[in-house]
């Protein structure tokens, strides 16, 4: 019997996603640019575009999985499951994932770290909001004490050590809005001393404030969060890199364009009874199945001697 492709192909050894992300952070010339994705479909589209890192947005997960706002409604299993599914689409593309406040006590934080790392999520961020949190670009956020925040970070660090699987810990503070820049920087420095790897100062208001924060936190790698309609100025990748940021998230880019495109199509279908095809027929069933990997699935089946997916699909 002839050997199949599956028996002769040489496979590269598994590399943990956290290790891949750490290499990018250690490269002085690299900027980790992450589009926000919230499900397998948006992740597939981002991967097809060539991104080498992804961000699983908590707001997008709440909206897509539950149809709810970002108000601490999504549970740990729902959030970790979504992050793990996205991380499993391409093991060579690290996924950074939202972990809100850590989902409760120090034990809940430890469980979150263990779950995310078991699912090969590269990094997670934990913030200093009160448990009933809200999106970082909304007003009137309640902030916990520095001591309580550091319990979360220390729990994440200890859980990482005990589970034996690496994951990058990103410390996020939402304290700028109510406590000011100096206190936000103090919190992130303390979080780094407690075991966090990356600093995430949410809600920066100006380009100059971005520069000041990065300089004050050096040499800690810093993350910039660019939210459409939010309070932080829109900086392109080159500007963010020049300011010294190592990671840039565009967390709701998928949500924004899904909202505008689907809203328009739904209204057209309601008003006219049909939707006009897009130029060139883009977005038809063929495009959708191809970006989701239908040809790769067929090749895999053939490589192991299967015949269920033989023949052309289109």
pLDDT digits (tens, 9 = 90+) for 12-44: 778 999 999 999 999 999 999 999 999 999 999
Cα-based distances in Å from 123 to 65, 142, 256, 309: 21, 24, 24, 36
Active-site residue (options: 38, 82, 100, 111): 100
Question: Does the active-site annotation cover 5?
Answer: no
Active-site residue (options: 128, 166, 174, 202): 202
**CA atoms of 151 and 23, how far apart (whole Å):** 28
pTM higher than 0.85, yes or no?
Answer: yes
Question: Does the active-site annotation cover 34?
Answer: no
pLDDT digits (tens, 9 = 90+) for 159-175: 999 999 999 999 999 99
Active-site residue (options: 82, 120, 127, 197): 127
pLDDT digits (tens, 9 = 90+) for 193-250: 999 999 999 999 999 999 999 999 999 999 999 998 888 999 999 999 999 999 999 9
> Which residues touch 297 (CB under 8 Å, ≥6 apart)?
309
Active-site residue (options: 55, 90, 116, 149): 55
Active-site residue (options: 22, 44, 120, 135): 135
CB 237 within 8 Å of CB 250: no
Percentage of the chain lying above the pLDDT 90 cut? 75
Question: Does the active-site annotation cover 182?
Answer: no
Active-site residue (options: 98, 128, 166, 197): 98
Q: Where are the beta strands (DSSP E) in 41-131?
A: 54-56, 95-98, 123-127
Residue 225 backbone dihedrals phi, psi, to 5 degrees? -110, 110
Structural domains present in the chain:
16-259 (3.20.20.60), 276-303 (no CATH)
pLDDT at res. 10: 58
Mean pLDDT across the chain, nearest whole number? Answer: 92
Q: How confident is the model at residue 136 (pLDDT cuts 50, 70, 90)?
A: low
Q: At residue 134, does pLDDT exceed 50?
A: yes
Residue 56 backbone dihedrals phi, psi, to 5 degrees? -90, 115
Q: At residue 140, does pLDDT exceed 70?
A: no
Question: Does the active-site annotation cover 140?
Answer: no
Question: Does the active-site annotation cover 127?
Answer: yes
Question: Does the active-site annotation cover 160?
Answer: no
Question: Does the active-site annotation cover 70?
Answer: yes
**CA atoms of 181 and 100, how far apart (whole Å):** 21
Q: How confident is the model at residue 5 (pLDDT cuts 50, 70, 90)?
A: very low
Percentage of the chain lying above the pLDDT 70 cut? 95
Q: At residue 138, does pLDDT exceed 90?
A: no
Active-site residue (options: 172, 174, 197, 222): 172
Q: At residue 301, does pLDDT exceed 90?
A: no
Active-site residue (options: 22, 44, 111, 125): 125
**CA atoms of 209 and 222, how far apart (whole Å):** 13
Question: Does the active-site annotation cover 174?
Answer: no
pLDDT at res. 113: 98
- Better pLDDT: 5 or 290: 290
Q: At residue 2, does pLDDT exceed 80?
A: no
Question: Does the active-site annotation cover 276?
Answer: no
């Amino acid at each position: 019997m002839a050997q199949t492709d599956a028996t002769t192909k040489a496979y590269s050894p598994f590399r943990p996603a956290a290790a891949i992300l750490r290499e990018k952070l250690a490269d002085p010339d690299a900027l980790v640019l992450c589009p926000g994705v919230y499900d397998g479909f948006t992740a597939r589209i981002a991967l097809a575009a060539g991104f080498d890192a992804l961000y699983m947005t908590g707001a997008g997960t709440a909206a897509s999985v539950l149809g709810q706002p970002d108000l601490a409604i999504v549970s740990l299993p729902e959030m970790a499951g979504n992050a793990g599914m996205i991380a499993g689409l391409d093991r060579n593309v690290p996924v950074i994932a939202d972990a809100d406040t850590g989902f409760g006590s120090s034990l809940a934080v430890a469980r979150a770290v263990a779950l995310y790392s078991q699912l090969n999520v590269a990094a997670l961020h934990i913030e200093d909001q009160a448990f009933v949190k809200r999106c970082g670009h909304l007003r009137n956020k309640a902030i916990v004490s520095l001591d309580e925040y550091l319990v979360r970070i220390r729990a994440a660090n200890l859980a990482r050590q005990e589970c034996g699987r690496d994951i990058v810990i990103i410390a996020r503070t939402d304290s700028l809005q109510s406590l000011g820049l100096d206190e936000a920087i103090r919190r992130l420095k303390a979080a780094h001393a407690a075991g966090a790897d990356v600093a995430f100062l949410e809600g920066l208001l100006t380009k100059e404030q971005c520069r000041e924060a990065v300089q004050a936190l050096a040499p800690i790698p810093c993350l910039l969060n660019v939210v459409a309609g939010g309070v932080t100025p829109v900086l392109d990748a080159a500007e963010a890199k020049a300011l010294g940021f190592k990671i840039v998230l565009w967390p709701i880019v998928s949500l924004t364009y899904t909202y505008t495109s689907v809203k328009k199509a739904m209204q057209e279908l309601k008003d006219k009874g049909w939707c006009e095809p897009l130029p060139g027929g883009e977005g038809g069933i063929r495009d959708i199945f191809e970006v989701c990997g239908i040809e790769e699935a067929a090749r895999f089946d053939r490589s192991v001697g299967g015949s269920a997916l033989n023949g052309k699909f289109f």
